[in-house]
Amino acid sequence: MNEHDEHDEREDRDCDDREALARLLPAPAERELPREQHLRHKELLMRHIDNDRDNGRRNRLRRPALLIPATALALACALTAGIALGGDGGDGGNGGTSPKMRPAAALLHRISDAAGERKTPPVRDDQFVYTRTKIREADLTSGKAVVGPLKEQETWATQRQGPMRKLGVSRIDGETLPINAELGDTEGTPAGLSRPTYRWLSELPTDPDKLLAYLYAKTPHAKERERDQAVFEQIGTLLGGMMPPRTAAALYRAAAELPGVTRAPGARDAIGRQGLGIAREDTRHGVHTEWVFDEKDFTFLGSRSRLTKDLPYGKKGTLLSSEAELEHAVVDRAGREPGR
């Protein structure tokens, strides 16, 4: 064993020690809010799973204390785990990445570089961000995962910054409904993780380490969910929309530092488009979530989640959610389609 290998082993042991210490710390307090309506169906689905685990009580959402005592320890382990042996599997040039970087991290760095070079139209606070997607997801309200048909969804998300009682409009298979403020927000829902406006996104830290620390602090804590998985899925809810290029680039580099993130060969979105896959599995919860990117220009195509073990509400391999991003634009009025 050479000196470099011994150094890596020492770092792994240190990381294990930090994780053990983190598990000894008291768990953060939790507080509950009723079920909210989200722009992102995947986020809603994942929280349904959390609620199903919580003694069978459904239709309730958990919101945690914003800071956790082990944040610094988790970040230290994430940074230590960010470099490992192996190339990137051959998807083009190295994009300035280290030859010893994990394959998933190397790919995320190239995706980050591509995202940082994209152009986005200006977005005013009085406008709406339009998104058209294809979605397919499991309904868990019966206690069993019942996978529904593929549907087309359009959303018009208001970009106003203050607390808003009406967040926009959603149209699914031709049926148009308002997107109301989160239940419990009597003054309205402000811009934030659950309502990511373009201006709010532009104010996030663009340093990947600072952004990752922010996400660990602000991501809602769900009972029994791995903390790293919760942050990975939180990043996933932000992908694909209208976003400042620098913010998008920072999000992908922050994701590259998460432990447990891997490549996902053969990844496909909701309409079957195959691309480059980035995935993470919540081994405690038995959920595998992957992101799909175009093989040529690294644009975000969509996402997919499935069960990796038999659970009371579904068998191993059951699809939980899938999504395909089709169109994004900026419009002046809710309900107006781009170009009309």
Arithmetic mean of pLDDT, 99-112: 90
The rounded distance, in Å, linking the Cα atoms of 58 and 152 is 26
Hey, CA dihedral for 175, 181, 183, 187, is it positive or negative? negative
Evaluate whether residue 337 is within a structural domain: no
Band (pLDDT 50/70/90 cuts) for residue 324 is very high
Evaluate whether residue 149 is within a structural domain: yes
The rounded distance, in Å, linking the Cα atoms of 96 and 113 is 9
Evaluate whether residue 221 is within a structural domain: yes
Which pLDDT score, from 0 to 100, does residue 98 have? 52
**158, two tokens:** 């208001």
**248, two tokens:** 């998008």
Domain that holds residue 321: 3-331
Higher pLDDT, 152 or 174: 152
Evaluate whether residue 336 is within a structural domain: no
Mean pLDDT of the residues in the chain: 79
Band (pLDDT 50/70/90 cuts) for residue 340 is low
Please give the biggest Cα pair distance in the chain.
66
Closest CA to 116 of 232, 204, 247: 247
Number of domains in the chain: 1
Q: What is the 3-state secondary structure (H, E, C) of 61-75?
A: EEEECCCCCCHHHHH
Indicate the pairing of strand 274-282 with strand 287-293.
antiparallel
Which pLDDT score, from 0 to 100, does residue 59 have? 33
Evaluate whether residue 15 is within a structural domain: yes
Q: What is the 3-state secondary structure (H, E, C) of the chain?
A: CCHHHHHHHHHHHHHHHHHHHHHHCCCCCEEEEECCCCCCHHHHHHHHHHHHHCCCCCCEEEEECCCCCCHHHHHHHHHHHCECCCCCCCCCCCCCCCCCECHHHHHHHHHHHHHHHCCCCCCCCCCEEEEEEEEEEEECCCCCCEECCCEEEEEEEECCCCCECEEEEEEECCEEEEEECCCCCCCCECCECCECCHHHHHCCCCCHHHHHHHHHHHCCCCCCCCHHHHHHHHHHHHCCCCCCHHHHHHHHHHHHCCCCCEECCCEECCCCCEEEEEEEEECCCCEEEEEEECCCCCCEEEEEEEECCCECCECCCCEEEEEEEEEEEEECCCCCCCCC
- Does the pLDDT value for residue 53 go beyond 80? no
Which pLDDT score, from 0 to 100, does residue 100 have? 63
- Does the pLDDT value for residue 114 go beyond 60? yes
Least confident span in 9-13, 93-97, 316-320 = 93-97
Arithmetic mean of pLDDT, 92-114: 76
Higher pLDDT, 335 or 223: 335
The rounded distance, in Å, linking the Cα atoms of 283 and 225 is 9
- Does the pLDDT value for residue 292 go beyond 50? yes
Hey, CA dihedral for 307, 308, 309, 315, is it positive or negative? positive
Evaluate whether residue 339 is within a structural domain: no
Evaluate whether residue 338 is within a structural domain: no
Which pLDDT score, from 0 to 100, does residue 55 have? 38
- Does the pLDDT value for residue 181 go beyond 50? yes
Which pLDDT score, from 0 to 100, does residue 183 have? 82
Which pLDDT score, from 0 to 100, does residue 48 have? 44
- Does the pLDDT value for residue 142 go beyond 70? yes
Write the pLDDT tens digit of every residue in 184-236: 888 999 999 999 999 999 999 999 999 999 999 999 988 778 999 999 999 99
Supply angle C-alpha 99, 85, 206, rounded to 5: 60
- Does the pLDDT value for residue 64 go beyond 70? no
- Check: pTM over 0.85? Answer yes or no: no
Which pLDDT score, from 0 to 100, does residue 224 have? 74
**226, two tokens:** 């791995």
CA 107 to chain centroid, in Å, comes to 17
Amino acid at 208: P
Which pLDDT score, from 0 to 100, does residue 32 have? 34
Evaluate whether residue 340 is within a structural domain: no
Arithmetic mean of pLDDT, 35-44: 39
Amino acid at 280: R
Which pLDDT score, from 0 to 100, does residue 11 have? 47
* DSSP bridge pairs for 324: 134, 302
**Cβ–Cβ < 8 Å for 86, 103:** yes
**By percentage, how much of the chain surpasses pLDDT 70?**
70
Band (pLDDT 50/70/90 cuts) for residue 75 is very low
Arithmetic mean of pLDDT, 108-122: 96
